[in-house]
Amino acid sequence: MSLAIFDLDNTLIGDDSDYLWGQFLVDQGVVDKDQYEAANARFYEQYKQGSLDIVEFLAFSLKPLAEHAPEQLYQWRGQFIRDIITPILLKPARQMIEKHRAQGDTLLVITATNRFVTEPIVQLYGIDNLLATTPEQIAGRYTGKFVGTPCFQAGKITHLEAWLTETGESLQGSWFYSDSHNDLPLLQRVDHAVAVDPDAKLAAYAQTANWPVISLRGDDCPEQHFLHWRK
Task: Enumerate the active-site residues.
Answer: 7, 9
Which H, E and C letters describe 182-197, residue by residue? HHHHHHCCCCEEEEEC
- What is the C-alpha separation between 203 and 213, in angstroms, rounded? 7
Which of 42, 12, 34, 36 lies closest to 22, judged by CA? 36
Count the Cβ atoms, other than its own, within 10 Å of residue 173.
13
- What is the C-alpha separation between 105 and 16, in angstroms, rounded? 26
β-strand partners of 135: 146
- What is the C-alpha separation between 81 and 37, in angstroms, rounded? 20
| C-alpha distances out from residue 148 to 65, 66, 145, 162, 223, Å | 18, 18, 10, 12, 38
Which of 113, 190, 117 lies closest to 152, judged by CA? 113
Evaluate whether 35 touches 29 at the Cβ level (below 8 Å).
Answer: no
Evaluate whether 128 touches 148 at the Cβ level (below 8 Å).
Answer: no
Give the number of residues written for the chain: 231
